Structure 1
Amino acid sequence: MRLRKLVAAAVPLPALLCLSVAGVANADPLVALSGNAAPLAASARSGDVAAEQQIPAALSLKLHNQQALARFLTDVQDPASPQYHRFLSPEQFTAAFGPTQAEADQAVNFLKRSGAQGIEVSGNRQAITFSATAGQLESAFHTRIGNYTDTVTGRKFYANDSAPELPASVSAVVDSVVGLDNHAVKHHAKPAQAPRAVKPVTPAILKTAYGTSGLSATGAGVNVGFVEFDGYQKSDITAYDKKYSLKAGSVSTVSVNGANYDSSPGDGETEVDLDIEVVHALAAPANDYVYEAPNSNAGELAMYQKIASDKKVSVVSISWGSCEAAEGSAAANSVDKALATGTAEGISYFAAAGDDGTTDCARQTGSKSQAVDFPASSPNVSGVGGTQLTVNSSNGYSSETTWNDGASGGAGGGGISTIFAAPSWQSKQSTTKRKVPDVAGDAAKGSAYTIISGGQTGNVWGTSGAAPLWAGFAALQNEVHKGGLGNLNAKFYSIGNGSSYGSGFHDVTTGNNTFNGTTGFSAGKGYDQTTGWGSFNGSGLSTLIG
């Protein structure tokens, strides 16, 4: 249209070319995506990534009506609101807040023009995963991709040199580009055999000590999801159930982006077994959906979006994560949108707060500065810290202290987020940034979990056991209260700040999570950044959740 008008005006050819080029450029200028600079790219650069190297990546698309979504997430957990527990279906969420089909098509067409392969759009249209060569990514996003070496740990990784740039028409629908760096490989607690467990915990001990044996619920009819980046052998789960005479529901693997590790699990197998078996300890009849994805930021995003768009589960246990500095704000905020989607649909998420005290980046970047783990730091997740559980001769609850086994065993994670603002329900604890953890559970060597993995029975520990412990309790609550409960943090903080706190929680008042020579936080009366509000008193908290 513009060209025909210019020709009609008989503009001289050189001027015509200048005006045409300028018109095209101004029509769709490049826009840098704020907050999308690569994390840790200040490390030593050692040259360009080979142009032909294949790199998995993803686009996270923008949500609509985000202020209305924030209000809904508050109202859906407010007993005084007409919206209380009126959760949305995935279709309702997408219609109200999600990207339109036209917006998703626009992003897909951009990727196709850029040469991307294997393009997959999440069911809710919020994420688009793909693969492309480094050269194609550099051309599409106008940034060089270099090889880097972490100057502290010596770990080699690739990363974009600058924030990606997109044509304005595409940036209008895209929030972030995820996966241009591969520093943030998701880690787990590396649970290992505990040689000096004082009294390893079994299903009978956990049910008695944490007060769930008297509940009129088993988890039957509830679906629990697991976030995993490795596989498991069903024979181990079956053997665990048989050992403790547990009548279990079904266990199914859900492959994300083609990942399925079950035929040959790696060193994360014990982690996956621990997650599933601890949920079985409290709520064996629940049905398990084990989501397995590639261990990358793109795989992580695809997994959380699939959990939300599938809406097969109402409780999710998470024991894998990254310290916030390694994850980066773009990737964290992209996943947080998926978590917000799930909570709007009634899903409850529980994530391990980490096993490195307040130095969550120590194993990933070598930094011993205070840092917290993601996704436990997401406001849409209940972050779970660690305790040392002591029971009496009848397996009843005796006491708990903050888990801190020192350098040989780890310490419960806790601290202050650098990415997320304090949510409204945490206003009495913080008016600036989100604090973690929210709650806690058994995680210590001395009260390690007895599990079966690789055909062997052993005792393992870490907040990787505390997260599925809470997920198992939430599964029981789904049955008791006849449906999904969504983000339980608002309820937890309301109880914690009220007069009934002592009947719902075991307040942990001793110990600290000082670790790696970095001063941490000390437990005390009420909320603290070692164990949150503490562990659950099953029957008491069940009544208060109602």
Structure 2
Amino acid sequence: MWVSLASALPLLVAVAAFPSKNREHKVKELVTPPPGWTIHAPAPSDHVLKLRIGLPQSNFAALEAHLYEISDPYHERYGAHLSKEDVEELVAPRPESTGAVTEWLASHGIREDDIGRSPAGDWLTLRIPVALVEKMLDTKYHVWTHMGRGESIVRTTSYSLPQSLHEHIELIQPTTLFGTFKKLKSTIHSINEVDAIVQPQDFSPPGLESAGVTVDASCNSTITITCLKEIYNAVGYTPTAKGNSIGITGYLGENANRADLQTFYEDQVPAAAAVNSTFEFISVAGGLDSQNASEAGGEANLDVQFAFGLSFPVPSTFFSTAGSPPFVPDIGTPEDTNEPYTDWLDFMLSHPSPPLAISTSYGDDEQTVPESFARRACAGFAQLGARGVSLMVSSGDGGVGDGNPDPATQQCITNDGRNRTRFIPGFPASCPFVTAVGGTVFFPEQAIDFSGGGFSNFFDRPRYQDDAVEDFLEKLPKGTYRGLFNRKGRAIPDVAAQSNFFRVFVGGRAFHIGGTSASSPAFTGFVALLNDGRLSKGLPPLGFLNPLLYSKAKSGFNDITVGNNPGCGTPGFNATKGWDAVTGLGTPDFGKLLELVT
């Protein structure tokens, strides 16, 4: 008898996970694997899992209230950021949760010295074999392989806990997380050596004067530090304040090459080249930063060159976090660590002085991340924001779709077992505690077609977005994309910046690189300059940006009204007057923003 894929999926999940027959256990989480993932084989019993157990944070609601007060430019507490200790006190689990979970672990032979605890005690980490994890969680792990990418991970689709522990454990991973945390470098506009780039034949460069801003004509085919400062009204500004800092996150074995940075500085920031400026490297969980020219990373080099080039001489740090899919199940690999994002969050939350502005150009389709995990990671971003850190994240390169390079063939199918067609937002851009950065191109600027945008299916729209997003939704023709997106969800992106033709040096050669992975570090560079302006006047750093951007600072953006972001077989959303789901509030006018924030 023929069985449809849709009807077979629930059966597949049941078979894959072997849901509990133990009456003392109750299912904690159950997911349908995202499209493309199939079972390769049972997980080896001696395969080691780095198990992370999240305990409920006792007073996160209070932390969130603090965050919104200190991020509201009209509140009397604006800028009164919390200390590391203040934050940890608010998110520490209740003693009864700590005790119950510790007792449960001990019943399985796990001693206290086998357990790693986060500074707040809200995360427990241990390394144990699959056989023991399967017994503890009353489940069955398999090696799953992605048919299109060939990546493999060890996962289950369901796990159970003793009923008495459900109130004391928020989530356990790796269990149901099928995301692979990809780089957000555009797959539509590929990386090209500069000499090989040819402009489309029908492209006629627009005029390069707009609203009193003059930009060199070359900026319509090559983006440099000079171009960005011209386009965004920052020519002549040099940071001078002490206490400032900027950071770039690196994952998936991406190496930031110092020799390439020097070549970039010689090409675009001669003042930095003159003093042989470089960045501090910090390894997270064993992350490396090879300086072999053949191993230089296009993503990492793009990020550090433009973020640090724009903000020079602000002290800069490149964080490399270990962990890179795919896991290769056939070579006896003892451990697969392909969730590096949580390792980075652990490290940053334990760091006494994290950089004040940080850019991330990596992410997943939101639906490949279990909601419990997404919410817990998002809570980590809130903790950093409460401590005065501004977090920027690329909005993604799939328009309203799933990142497929051909927006006309994106399937955009939900993985909730119902196989509905739906727009695919990205995570962590969908977290309301980060600033999601979309993309533009040319000057005068227009939205670039791959700019990730849309509405979260996990997170409700935060109140700071209400007015701007409601205006946008009211302008949509009635019934537009009905059922394809969540009108009440957190809207993406918040802002935008140039995102194509960035002149980047990789392995000693010049390339043009595009993607919102360029927009985020560029915008972050300007945030570091704004922090300099505040620090130089004795004011605290900006911290969590969004409440400021949507209120007092919204007049400091260039409104983008041309372009759209197709995906899922649709034209996507249109850039329009005011906020839109392609370019957000628009691109920064640094001069105006500096006046508004200082």
Q: TM-score, normalised by structure 2?
A: 0.76
Q: Which residue among 502, 518, 521 is the counterpart of 1:465?
A: 518
Residue-by-residue CA offset, 1:16-71 (whole Å, 9 max, x unaligned) = xxxxxxxxx99xx545435x646528954454222222233322232112322222
Shift of 1:240: 1.9
1:58 alignment partner AA: R
Contact 2:361 2:516 in 1 (8 A): yes
CA deviations over 1:104-163 (Å, ceiling 9, x no partner): 57656655664679753333433333332222221122221123355777755432131x
Of 433, 442, 445, which aligns to 1:400? 445
Equivalent position of 2:78 in the other structure = 84
Counterparts of 1:213-228 in structure 2, within 5 Å, are 213-215=235-237, 217=239, 221-228=243-250
Within the candidate set 399, 418, 424, 2:457 is matched to 418
CA distance in 2, matches of 1:531, 1:384: 8
- What is the Cα deviation at residue 545 of structure 1? 2.6
What is the CA-CA distance between 1:253 and the residue it aligns to? Answer: 2.2
Does 65-74 or 97-106 show the bigger shift? 97-106
Return the offset for 1:192.
1.2
**Deviation for aligned residue 1:418:** 1.0
Q: In the alignment, which residue of structure 1 is the partner of 2:129?
A: 133
Q: CA deviation at 1:367?
A: 3.5
- Report the Cα distance in structure 1 between the residues aligned to 2:457 and 2:296, rounded to whole angstroms: 28
Alignment of 1:284-433 (within 5 A): 284-293=312-321, 294-295=323-324, 298-310=339-351, 311-362=353-404, 367-368=411-412, 369-390=422-443, 399-404=444-449, 411-428=450-467, 429-430=469-470, 432-433=488-489
Whether the 8 Å CA contact 1:246–1:280 is kept in 2: the answer is no
Distance 1:288 1:373 in 2: 27
Aligned counterpart, 2:473: none
Amino acid at match of 1:344: A
Q: Is the 8 A contact 2:385 2:433 kept in 1?
A: yes
Structure 2 CA distance for aligned equivalents of residues 274 and 60 of structure 1: 34
**Which amino acid letter does the alignment assign opposite residue 45 of structure 2?**
A
For the Cα contact (< 8 Å) 1:505–1:535, is it kept in 2? Answer: yes
- Write the distance in 2 (CA, Å) between the matches of 1:363 and 1:111: 45
Q: Choose which of 223, 232, 238 in structure 1 pairs with 2:262.
A: 238
Q: Which amino acid in structure 2 is aligned with residue 471 of structure 1?
A: T
Structure 2: give runs of 5+ residues left out of the alignment.
1-21, 200-219, 325-336, 413-421, 471-486
Shift of residue 487, structure 1, vs aligned partner: 1.4
Q: How far 1:531 moved relative to its partner?
A: 0.3
TM-align CA RMSD: 3.1
Residue-by-residue CA offset, 1:449-506 (whole Å, 9 max, x unaligned):
1121222222211111100011111111111112321211111111476xxx2xx111
Q: What code does the residue aligned with 1:415 have?
A: G
CA distance in 2, matches of 1:352, 1:269: 17
CA contact (8 A) 1:325 1:361 kept: no
For residues 508 and 171 of structure 1, do their structure 2 counterparts lie closer, same or farther at Cα, with a shift above 3 Å needed? Answer: same
- Judge conservation of contact 1:283–1:476 (CA < 8 Å) in 2: yes
Secondary structure, aligned partner of 2:183:
coil
Question: 1:245-284 counterparts in 2 under 5 A?
Answer: 245-247=270-272, 250-262=278-290, 269-284=297-312
Aligned partner of 2:48: which letter?
A: Q
Is 1:522 matched up with 2:516?
A: no
Q: Which amino acid aligns with 1:189?
A: L
Q: What is the distance in 2 between the residues matched to 1:111 and 1:93?
A: 27
Contact 1:228–1:290 under 8 Å retained in 2: yes
Runs of 4+ in 1 over 6 A off after TM superposition: 115-118, 151-154, 264-268, 363-366
AA aligned to 1:401 is Q
Q: Percent identity?
A: 24
Question: 2:66 & 2:49 partners in 1: Cα distance?
Answer: 37
CA contact (8 A) 2:395 2:516 kept: yes
- 1:206 paired residue number: 228
Question: Structure 1 residues 416, 481: closer, same or farther in 2, change over 3 A?
Answer: same
SS at match of 2:402: coil
Q: Which amino acid aligns with 2:541?
A: G
Tell me how far apart the structure 1 counterparts of residues 68 and 517 of structure 2 sit (CA, whole Å). Answer: 29
Further displaced range: 262-271 or 511-520: 262-271
In structure 2, the CA distance between the partners of 1:289 and 1:108, relative to structure 1 (3 Å rule), is farther
Which of 546, 562, 573 is the equivalent residue of 1:510? Answer: 562
Q: Which residue in the other structure is 2:212 paired with?
A: none
CA distance in 2, matches of 1:322, 1:206: 28
Q: Does the 8 Å contact 1:56/1:130 carry over to 2? A: yes
Partner of 1:71: 65
1:360–1:265 distance in 2 versus 1, CA, 3 Å: farther
Q: How far apart are 1:88 and its partner, in Å?
A: 0.7
* SS of structure 1 residue aligned to 2:491: strand
Report deviation, 1:266: 8.9
> In structure 1, what is the Cα distance between the partners aligned to 2:287 and 2:388?
26
Residues 332-360 of structure 1: per-residue CA shift (max 9 Å, x gap): 11211110110111111110011111113
In 2: Cα distance, 1:266 partner to 1:424 partner: 47
2:181 touches 2:339 (CA, 8 Å); kept in 1? no
Greater shift in the superposed pair: 274-283 or 516-525: 516-525
Matched residue SS, 2:260: helix
Q: Which moved more, 1:378-387 or 1:101-110?
A: 101-110
Change (3 A) 1:44 1:239: closer
Pick aligned residue for 1:97 from 91, 96, 120: 91
Unaligned regions of 5+ residues in structure 1, if any?
1-24, 391-398, 405-410
Contact 1:30 1:166 in 2 (8 A): yes
| One-letter amino acid of the counterpart of residue 191, structure 2 | A
> Match for residue 443 of structure 1?
499
Residues 267 and 357 (structure 1), Cα distance of their counterparts in 2 relative to 1, 3 Å cut: farther
> How many angstroms apart in 2 are the aligned matches of 1:113 and 1:211?
63
Partners of 1:73 and 1:260 lie apart in 2 by 33
**Cα contact 1:129–1:302 (8 A) shared by 2:** no
TM-superposition CA deviations, 1:381-437 (whole Å, max 9, x none): 1100000032xxxxxxxx100112xxxxxx111011111110010112157211100
- 1:531 partner amino acid: T
Partner of 2:13: none
Amino acid at match of 1:67: A
Aligned residue for 1:522, secondary structure, equals: coil
Give, as a single letter, the amino acid of the residue that structure 1 aligns with 2:588.
Answer: F
CA contact (8 A) 1:184 1:326 kept: yes
Quick check: 1:455 aligned with 2:483? Answer: no
Task: Give 1:249 shift.
Answer: 5.6
Q: Measured at CA, do residues 235 and 403 of structure 1 come closer, stay the same or move farther in structure 2, by a change above 3 Å?
A: same
Find the residue that maps to 1:419 and give its secondary structure: strand
- The answer as to whether partners of 1:182 and 1:297 remain within 8 angstroms in 2 is no
Query: Deviation string for 1:162-219 (max 9, x for gaps)?
Result: 1x22345654443211222563111113461261364312112211221112446367
Quote the Cα distance in structure 2 between the aligned partners of 1:309 and 1:161: 31
Q: Is the 8 A contact 1:308 1:339 kept in 2?
A: no
State the AA in 1 paired with 2:357. Answer: V
Aligned to 1:474: 527
Name the SS of the counterpart of 1:76 in structure 2. helix
Instruction: Give the secondary structure class of the aligned counterpart of 1:137.
Output: helix
**TM-score using structure 1 length:** 0.82
SS in 1 for 2:437: strand
SS in structure 1 at match of 2:445: strand
